[in-house]
Amino acid sequence: MKIEIMAVGGYDEVGRNMTAVKIGEEVVLLDMGWNLEKVLMHFGQYDPRRHSLQDMIEVGAYPDYQYMGSWIDKVKAILISHAHLDHISAIPKLAGVFPNAEIIGTPFAMEVLKESLKQEPNPIPNKIFVMKAGSKKKVGKNFNVEFIHVTHSTPDSVMIALKTPAGTVLYTGDWKLDNQPILGKRTNMQKLKKLGEEGVKVLIADTVRIERESKTPSESMVREMLKDVLWGVQNQENAIFVTTFASHIARLKTIKDLGEKMGRKVIFLGRSMDMYINAANRAGIVDLTKGAEIYGRRKGIERALKQVMKHQSKYLVVITGHQGEPHSVLDRISRKELPFTFDEWDTLIFSSEIIPAPVNQANRAELERRLKPSKVRMFKDIHVSGHAAREDHRDLLKVVHPEHYIPFHGDIRKLASATNLAKDMGYQLGKSVHLLQNGQKIEIN
């Protein structure tokens, strides 16, 4: 029996992740996300009632499932590695193409998915199964699925091990090797070592930050960076705003903890802030609602900002918009569409980095241009990545030592960089390390 792997999405770009693995007459899908850059470029903002599945595929925002051909009717499960939108956001429209496929993911990811499904005009026929890290599940006759805990910039992330009659496939999802996480446990290296000892046929690994020749720092470093800015600059009488990824629950916890230690009331503003914080609470990850205020709708956001404008020194405000996303809270403040105006000596912290895509870079540059006349103090790049850097990849390859290595989640430069690293470690291009592009497949005996 052989392993067949198809690159459906995420092999030409960062985002739109979807990989199909076929054993015999059964297929499982690994992730089902969108490419946010394409959404912003073509639509400005996603409208679930206006934009159809075909619309999303035509502009390159969703994986093109039509590559799969005869595999479509063989899909038994859709396995989700974590809650980021480039891994789950195509599910509400695309999962129905595979009506007999159960959607399997961790508690937090499934809570986020359920919120997304509420926005869609048509329900999906698929059943949803919640599976915790460390758990196993039989799928069809040929797949034994195991979720392995991994650190990333959103909680409840897992690597997915597929144990099959033809060998084990290990899919990393997005990952880093954080030895001092703020929230949750370290990556389960003990389990990865055991898999390596038992034998891994294929490793499919995320390459978003592989070009960085270093090890990705721990999230605990950001706590110190934020502490240094929040507690180390003259801001006692002025407004303090922080903008970061709404899905980064550990980061939000750090900001809340530090704000409360400053004696400030913490307010979270933005629809995605509301969604992710409440999903984390329901999934039992952490309750950030205690002692804080959260507003996702415009009227609540406006009321909160009016209050902050009157009593600036009493609040620390956490908002969406660090990428300059159209219609985010920070974007609307910069356009004077919301009742708050930054002033000289106010603090605005970007606890993020710009996602490397032209539309994000353009949006962020335009945002900063609009903010500049206010003379607000901007602190940028108070952040560490949630993705493994080059030396983390080297360690993973050493621990798992797969027979075959397939890089994904990157453009051709990132995939080529991963290939070169593997070649340095003794892999051979075309024999044990494989470069795939969207729509291509490979058979491994």
Average pLDDT score over residue span 339-367: 91
pLDDT at 357 over 80: no
pTM of the model: 0.94
pLDDT per residue as tens digits for the range 175-210: 999 999 999 999 999 999 999 999 999 999 999 999
Q: Which fold has domain 220-379?
A: Rossmann fold (3.40.50)
Other CB atoms within 10 A of residue 408 CB: 27
Query: What is the average pLDDT across 363-377?
Result: 95
Query: Per-residue pLDDT averaged across 423-429, rounded?
Result: 95
What are the residues whose beta carbons fall under 8 Å from the beta carbon of 154, sequence distance 6 or more? 82, 83, 84, 108, 245, 247, 248, 249, 386
3-state secondary structure of 242: strand
The helix (run of H) or strand (run of E) holding residue 192 is helix 189-198
Q: Do 293 and 227 touch, CB atoms closer than 8 A? A: no
pLDDT class for 45, splitting at 50, 70, 90? confident
Q: Under DSSP, is residue 107 helix (H, G, I), strand (E, B) or coil? A: helix
Q: Which band of pLDDT confidence, cut at 50, 70 and 90, is reported for residue 433?
A: very high
pLDDT for 300: 97
Phi/psi of residue 34, each to 5°?
-115, 170
| Residue 67 token pair | 């590559």
Q: Report yes or no: 167 and 202 within 8 Å, Cβ to Cβ.
A: yes
For residue 326, the SS3 value is coil
Contact between 77 and 101 (Cβ < 8 Å): yes
CA distance 186 to 188: 6
pLDDT above 90 (res 39) = no
Residue % of the chain over a pLDDT of 90: 90
- The label of the residue with tokens 């605990």 reads 220
pLDDT for residue 256: 97
Average pLDDT over residues 405-430: 94
Residue 122 DSSP symbol: S
- Angstrom distances, CA of residue 364 to CA of 295, 337, 352, 360, 380: 23, 18, 12, 6, 11
356 has a pLDDT exceeding 80: no
Residue found by looking up tokens 């910039």 in the block: 153
Instruction: Work out the angle between the directed axes of helices 412-424 and 390-400 (0-180°, nearest 10).
Output: 50
How do beta strands 75-79 and 202-206 pair?
Answer: unpaired
Answer for the pair 319, 260: CB distance below 8 angstroms, yes or no: no
Q: How far apart are CA 176 and CA 122, in angstroms?
A: 36
Looking at residue 214, its amino acid is: S
Q: Is 430 exposed, middle or buried (0-12, 13-18, 19+ CB in 10 A)?
A: exposed
- What integer pLDDT is reported at residue 290 of this predicted model? 93
What DSSP string describes 48-97?
TTT--HHHHHHTTSS--GGGGGGGGGGEEEEE---S-HHHHTTHHHHGGG
Residue range 60-114, pLDDT digits in tens:
999 999 999 999 999 999 999 999 999 999 999 999 999 999 999 999 999 999 9
Q: Per CATH, the architecture of 3-215+386-444 is what?
A: 4-Layer Sandwich (3.60)
Local confidence band at 36 (pLDDT 50, 70, 90 cut-offs): confident
Give the tens place of pLDDT for each residue, 254-290: 999 999 999 999 999 999 999 999 999 999 999 999 9
Apex 174 CA angle, 134 and 217, nearest 5: 100
Distance (Å, whole) CA 253 – CA 151: 16
- Confidence category of residue 445, pLDDT binned at 50, 70, 90: confident
Q: How confident is the model at residue 408 (pLDDT cuts 50, 70, 90)?
A: very high
pLDDT at 233 (0 to 100):
87
Q: Is 80 exceeded by the pLDDT of residue 244? A: yes
Helices (H), 245-334: 249-261, 271-282, 298-310, 329-334
pLDDT at 236: 86
- Look over the chain and give the mean of its residue pLDDT values, rounded to a whole number: 95
Residue 50: which pLDDT band, with cuts at 50, 70 and 90? confident
Residue 411's contacts (CB-CB under 8 Å, 6 or more residues apart) are: 12, 13, 14
- Higher-confidence residue of 124 and 39: namely 124
User: At residue 213, does pLDDT exceed 90?
Assistant: yes
Q: What is the per-residue burial (b if ≥16 Cβ within 10 Å, else e) of 62-92?
A: bbbbebbeebeebbbbbbbbbbbbbbbbbbb
Q: Which two tokens stand for residue 1?
A: 């029996």
Structure confidence at residue 271 (pLDDT): 95
Partners of 148 in the β-ladder: 159
Please enumerate in sequence order all residues whose Cβ is within 8 A of that of 364, keeping only pairs 6 or more positions apart, or say none.
322, 323, 324, 354
Supply the pLDDT for residue 40: 83
Please give the pLDDT value at position 77: 98
Reported as type and span, the H/E element at residue 392 is helix 390-400
- What would the mean pLDDT of 311-336 be, rounded to a whole number? 95
Domain ranges of the chain: 3-215+386-444, 220-379
- CA-nearest of 123, 77, 140, 73 to 103 is 77
Res. 370: pLDDT tops 80: yes
CA distance 400 to 202: 10
At 124 the pLDDT is 95
Instruction: Give 125-154 pLDDT, tens digit per residue.
Output: 999 999 999 999 999 999 999 999 999 999
Please, are residues 364 and 328 in contact by the beta-carbon 8 Å criterion? no
Q: Is the pLDDT of residue 418 over 90?
A: yes
- For residues 371 and 379, give the distance between their C-alpha atoms in angstroms, rounded to a whole number: 13
Q: Do 353 and 225 meet the contact criterion of CB atoms below 8 Å apart?
A: no
Cβ atoms of residues 61 and 39 within 8 Å: yes
